[in-house]
Amino acid sequence: MNILLLSMPDYFEHMPPLAVRMPNGALASLAGNVDDHHRVGIADLILRHDSVRETIVRLMHEFNPEVIGLSVMTFQRRTAGRIIDLARKLKPSVRVVVGGYDPSLAPEAYEPMNVDYIVRGEGEITFRELLRALENRGEFERISGLSYRAGERWVHNPVRPVHRLEDGEIRLPKRSARVLRGYTLLGRSVDVIETSRGCTYDCSFCSIIEMRGRNFHTYSFERVLADIRDARDHGARTIFFVDDNITLNVRRFEALCRAIIEAGLNQLDYFVQAMTSAIADHGETLAPLMRRAGFRYVFLGIENILEGDLQFLRAASKNTEHKSGNQAGNATLRAIDCLHRNKMYVVGGLIVGNPEDTVEAIEANLEFARRYVDWPYIQHPTPYPRTPMTQDFRQRGLITIERLEEYDGTTAVVRTEHVPAEEIEYMRWKAERWMKVRHMPAAFRHDPWFVLRHAPQMFAHTFRGITLRSLLGLENSHQVFRRYKTIRCQEREFV
């Protein structure tokens, strides 16, 4: 069968496609795990975000797929619906499969859409079995993790238990199936690698627990190194580890760093997401190893610097430092210090606009980011399907925007008990632009050619909304913010 796999073009404020166009790891993994005789094409639509319609028309024509599969996050749901309608118009007989976080956690939202199958949870085995059933006119009821139409109603088969990964059943991703080019992270060709899946924490804003429960499974180092080599052989110079929480097992992470060094794969740049507690507690041995292995940017899930907010986010324990087995306060500053001493940059993940936040509480977090992080990754709490946080916000009547395409993390869609949503977003937007500018010299030192060529566009993107009138002081920053919001709204129209 011809199968076309698509990831959505929607991006958010901190990932402008000018600088960040990363492949979707799920699709290459699915492609690597279907039976060999299928012809699979992967199109990451972020690479053609400005010509989605034309790209779909072309691919449907050239590829003539019997099945299309879409990977969808919640803020991409509207775009996914439009792409599905377009594909169906071009080929009414095409079978449509959706998967990923949004279809898994809100399958009911896809039932009225032009969709035939929903793959819930991990996809490799379910999708393979679905294709077999389609080919052999087989039956769907034994395929765990699958939802499908039976006449007028939908059947939701039992959940598929999470895969243990260790047994080698899940084969390597198939990168050669990608049909579009141009992946980049700040000018360097980028790819994504998984070394593990899952997390045993249960932060209230995170979808992971509802998606797969509290567990942690790992791939063998042999497989991980083979995967990195494959990414490199396909042109990658930067690797983004997409593990849910690679720092859950620090000893393993240290051993992985050593394995990367021993395999001579430390010439590549690595980006990773980490818990502050793991870095603070083990930084003296872990951070130098990370640096030697090639780690450059570390996304730290700081979440918030105020204890009350950390309690609400259920993120206090992962941000607690330990000394001699006892809790020794917040881990953030020590984690940042460890990374900086080892010449790595800190991407500071903070969440502002939690229910009890006042203007002062938000400002304290922004000030922290100004002082300590190299690249701000500040978001607003966003009520994604089935997270504990969503229940809280809904019960307290704090959700102000229900338009899911705005659930991109940098649009404030909830208010606090004290501050309106728009004001929260305004504060973040105003502060964050200048923090990003401050990092430009460091980016220049690493990739002078990319920064020289793109600096004007990067400035234009960061400061979109500003006009000559505002530069001359004839309008205030609230007016600029409103213009920025209008531009942002237009940017969300892809199809």
Per partner kind, with CB cut-offs from 5 to 8 A, the member of ligand B12, ligand SF4, none near residue 242 is ligand B12
**Residues 121-160, mask of contacts with ligand B12 (x by CB under 6 A):** -xxx--x---------------------------------
Q: Which residues contact 463 (CB under 8 A, 6 or more apart)?
A: 433
Residues 82-121 that bind ligand B12 (CB under 6 A): 97, 99-102, 104-105, 119
Q: Nearer to ligand B12 by C-beta: 71 or 184?
A: 71
- Whether 281 contacts 335, CB under 8 Å: no
Q: Nearer to ligand SF4 by C-beta: 268 or 275?
A: 275
Q: Nearer to ligand SF4 by C-beta: 129 or 244?
A: 244
Determine the size of the site formed for ligand B12 (CB under 6 A): 40
Which of helix, strand or coil describes residue 275? coil
Q: Would you mind telling me the total number of residues written for the chain in this entry?
A: 495
Asked whether position 201 contacts ligand B12 by CB under 6 A, the answer is no
Q: Nearer to ligand SF4 by C-beta: 216 or 393?
A: 216
Per partner kind, with CB cut-offs from 5 to 8 A, the member of ligand SF4, ligand B12, none near residue 65 is none
Residues 369-388 that bind ligand B12 (CB under 6 A): 384-385
Q: Which two tokens stand for residue 131?
A: 């294709």
**Residues 63-82, mask of contacts with ligand B12 (x by CB under 6 A):** ------xxx-xxx-------
Show contacts of 247-250: CB within 8 Å, 24+ apart: 247/274, 247/275, 247/278, 247/279, 248/196, 248/199, 248/200, 248/216, 248/275, 248/278, 249/196, 249/216, 249/218, 250/278, 250/281, 250/282, 250/286
- For residue 411, give the DSSP letter: S
To the nearest whole angstrom, how small is the minimum distance from the Cβ of residue 284 to ligand B12? 26
Whole-angstrom Cα distance, residue 255 to residue 486?
48
To the nearest whole angstrom, how small is the minimum distance from the Cβ of residue 318 to ligand B12? 12
Whole-angstrom Cα distance, residue 174 to residue 390?
36
Per partner kind, with CB cut-offs from 5 to 8 A, the member of ligand B12, ligand SF4, none near residue 318 is ligand SF4
Q: Which two tokens stand for residue 274?
A: 């980490």
Whole-angstrom Cα distance, residue 6 to residue 290?
33
Q: Nearer to ligand B12 by C-beta: 174 or 334?
A: 174
Return left, alpha or beta for 235; rule: phi > 0 is left, psi -120 to 50 is alpha, else beta.
left
C-beta nearest to ligand B12: residue: 99
- For residue 330, give the DSSP letter: E
Among 34, 56, 59, 192, binds ligand B12 (CB under 6 A): 192
Q: Which two tokens stand for residue 93?
A: 């007989």
- Whether 373 contacts 346, CB under 8 Å: yes
| CA atoms within 13 Å, Cβ hemisphere of 86 | 18
To the nearest whole angstrom, how small is the minimum distance from the Cβ of residue 282 to ligand SF4? 16
Nearest to 350 by CA among 264, 409, 265, 285: 409
Among 230, 303, 408, 432, binds ligand B12 (CB under 6 A): 408
Cα torsion 462, 467, 473, 475: sign: negative
Among 107, 294, 409, 465, binds ligand B12 (CB under 6 A): 409
To the nearest whole angstrom, how small is the minimum distance from the Cβ of residue 205 to ligand SF4? 7
> DSSP readout, 22-45?
PPPHHHHHHHHTS-TTSEEEEEEG
Does an H or E element contain 390, and which? helix 388-395
Summarize as ranges the residues that interact with ligand SF4 (CB under 6 A).
199, 201-203, 206, 208, 244-245, 275, 301, 318
Per partner kind, with CB cut-offs from 5 to 8 A, the member of ligand B12, ligand SF4, none near residue 67 is none
Q: Nearer to ligand SF4 by C-beta: 41 or 301?
A: 301
Q: Nearer to ligand SF4 by C-beta: 96 or 248?
A: 248
Per partner kind, with CB cut-offs from 5 to 8 A, the member of ligand B12, ligand SF4, none near residue 412 is none
Residues 205-264 that bind ligand B12 (CB under 6 A): 206-208, 240, 242, 244
To the nearest whole angstrom, how small is the minimum distance from the Cβ of residue 371 to ligand B12? 22
To the nearest whole angstrom, how small is the minimum distance from the Cβ of residue 424 to ligand B12? 16
Nearest to 165 by CA among 242, 228, 220: 220
Q: Any idea which residue has 């996304």 for tokens? A: 299
Point out which residues bind ligand B12 (CB under 6 A).
11-12, 15, 22-26, 29-30, 69-71, 73-75, 97, 99-102, 104-105, 119, 122-124, 127, 192, 194, 206-208, 240, 242, 244, 384-385, 408-409
